[in-house]
Structure 1
Amino acid sequence: MPVRVETYDRTEDAARALSSSRSARFLGGGTLVMRAVNAGDQSFDTIVRLRDPSFSTIRSEGDGYTVGAGVTMAAVAQSRDLAFLAPVARVVGGPAIRNMATVGGNLFATGNYGDFTVALLALGATVNLAGSSGRGIPIDDFLRDRERHATSLVLSVTVPRPREAGAFRFLKVSRVKPKGVSVMSIATYLPQSGGRVQGARVAYGSMAPHPVRATGVERALDGQALDAAAIDRAAAAATQGLNPPTDAIASGWYRTEVAGVHLKRLLAGERR
């Protein structure tokens, strides 16, 4: 089946073309869509592209940054403003992939490929869609309803700036270094007040169909000093309420067994 490519200069035109047809897909960097084209995916016949420069910009806004959906992992890794996210961007594939893969595309990545979205979830980012009148969608809600947003045009994500150095941490667990597919990824945002964690956010990748919050771990840490006892309680709750999947990379049993080990190392500041 032939695939038609439509290129627009205005976001509203691209958004209209995307939302008006269930057989259209948006092309950002191409790491998802072009893989589908090469695999002979028959579910779409139109590719929509956008040339608006703002789609690929990073700008400071208030207490955070608005990152265009077309910003690549390579651009994130090189940005001084987004230095706290650079270690995450650098573990997304190899150099060729990082030069193509985009922030917006990673929001829709399935299975073991949504590492950057895990970090955004831990940080409490919001997702900005075309036509949303400036009201961002909390990333938790966006991921829960991700299928419903498949025909929406993601313009950008707004990422809060971590309030203190070391509050945000990220770990990717893979069998092949340095650019293997994730067995799991873990991101934590643990701001502290008076020496105690306040507003803990902990997120996992590859532990559910899309990145998810580890609410059991958050409850174990919230209001606690980040000491050995609290870390042990958090590790014990590592997979509470989760049913990790089995795939070609690892079994659900294995993910359940090692999640607490890797979480404990991350919380304790150990390097792997």
Structure 2
Amino acid sequence: MTTVRTLATVAEAVSERGHVLGGGTLLMREVNYRPETVTEILRITDASLKEIRIEMSRITLGAGVTMAAVAARAELAALAPSARSVGGPAIRNMATVGGNLFAPHPYGDFAAALLALDARVHWAGGREEEIESFLAGRDRASGLVTAVSFVPPARGGFRFRKVSRTKPKGVSLMSIAANLTLSGSRVERARIAFGAMGPTPLRAKAAETALEGKTLDEAGIARALTVATDGLAPPDDALASSWYRDRVAPVHLSRLLLERS
């Protein structure tokens, strides 16, 4: 039997054991289909978990901020496409930033966007962790994530694309996020992340390196497309085979970088 307890502050929850309820879009499925795996749910009403802080040098999103709240803020316009890619309106009104960080394959599109933004994950108690490190060890993680923060992307530098067989709100065959620092049409720095191309969102580091110093045109991105899936782990599942994902990833990365439909 699953029990639910309500806690007023993050501090109260730190020493507790149980599944933390965010929007419940994934957790309640576990309750319905595998109730033996969820014996206790912790509902935390601390207002800080739903706080959005917009500062010149950094943006902080509380773990309880919903996808709908992200999409509604003009200052977060760059992130709006990745937030809107999460389910339909009802799901976006519940799905949270913190929950998406832990979403298993093939979910986690918003986490892929945060990986491209080089976000930092904030834990209760004040500890911070780079998102790449967090994702690599999230299955072994213990503690309570309270927020994520990132440097606001340059205007026009952040791009996101979701590839799905069912539009507009199907599960991702893959998602791609790119955060580019540009000097004119030349790429000074690139950070590219793929979702649904491994057990967690993963960076395409070879493609990042291949893009730096190049122009954003077909000739300039050619090498990056060749190595687009190096270091990734495209899975075989009901949506697509590993072979198919490996073949179509460069096509969609090209469309993302060149901003083509």
| Pairwise TM-score range, normalised by the shorter structure | over 0.9
Same amino acid, percent of matched pairs:
54
- Is residue 94 of structure 1 aligned with residue 93 of structure 2? no
CA drift at 1:30 = 0.2
| TM-score using structure 1 length | 0.93
Could you tell me which residue of structure 2 aligns to residue 122 of structure 1?
116
**Secondary structure of the structure 2 residue equivalent to 1:82:** helix
Contact 2:215 2:221 in 1 (8 A): no
- Is residue 5 of structure 1 aligned with residue 4 of structure 2? yes
Superposition pairs of residues 215-226 of structure 1, within 5 angstroms: 215-226=205-216
> Stretches of 4+ moved more than 4 A in 1?
none
**Secondary structure of the structure 1 residue equivalent to 2:80:** helix
Once the two structures are overlaid, the 10-residue window that deviates more, 175-184 or 62-71, is 62-71
**Secondary structure of the structure 1 residue equivalent to 2:60:** strand
**Secondary structure of the structure 1 residue equivalent to 2:156:** coil
**Correspondent of 2:139 among 131, 147, 152:** 147
**Correspondent of 2:107 among 110, 113, 116:** 113
Q: How many residues align?
A: 261
- CA-based RMSD: 1.2
Q: 1:207-253, CA deviations, whole angstroms, 9 ceiling, x for partnerless residues?
A: 00000000111011012222321211111111112231001111111
Superposition pairs of residues 245-256 of structure 1, within 5 angstroms: 245-256=235-246
2:91 and 2:184 mapped to 1: Cα distance? 42
Contact 2:2 2:35 in 1 (8 A): no
| TM-score using structure 2 length | 0.96
CA drift at 1:62 = 4.3
Q: 1:31-67, CA deviations, whole angstroms, 9 ceiling, x for partnerless residues?
A: 1110100002422311011111111010123412110
Superposition pairs of residues 58-207 of structure 1, within 5 angstroms: 58-131=52-125, 133=126, 135-149=127-141, 151-163=142-154, 165-193=155-183, 195-207=185-197
Contact 2:234 2:245 in 1 (8 A): yes
Contact 1:27 1:47 in 2 (8 A): yes
Contact 1:8 1:14 in 2 (8 A): yes
**Secondary structure of the structure 1 residue equivalent to 2:5:** strand
**Correspondent of 2:251 among 244, 261, 264:** 261
Q: 1:96-134, CA deviations, whole angstroms, 9 ceiling, x for partnerless residues?
A: 100110000000000111000000000111010001x2x
Contact 2:30 2:37 in 1 (8 A): no
Unaligned runs of 5+ in 2: none
Q: Which amino acid aligns with 1:141?
A: S
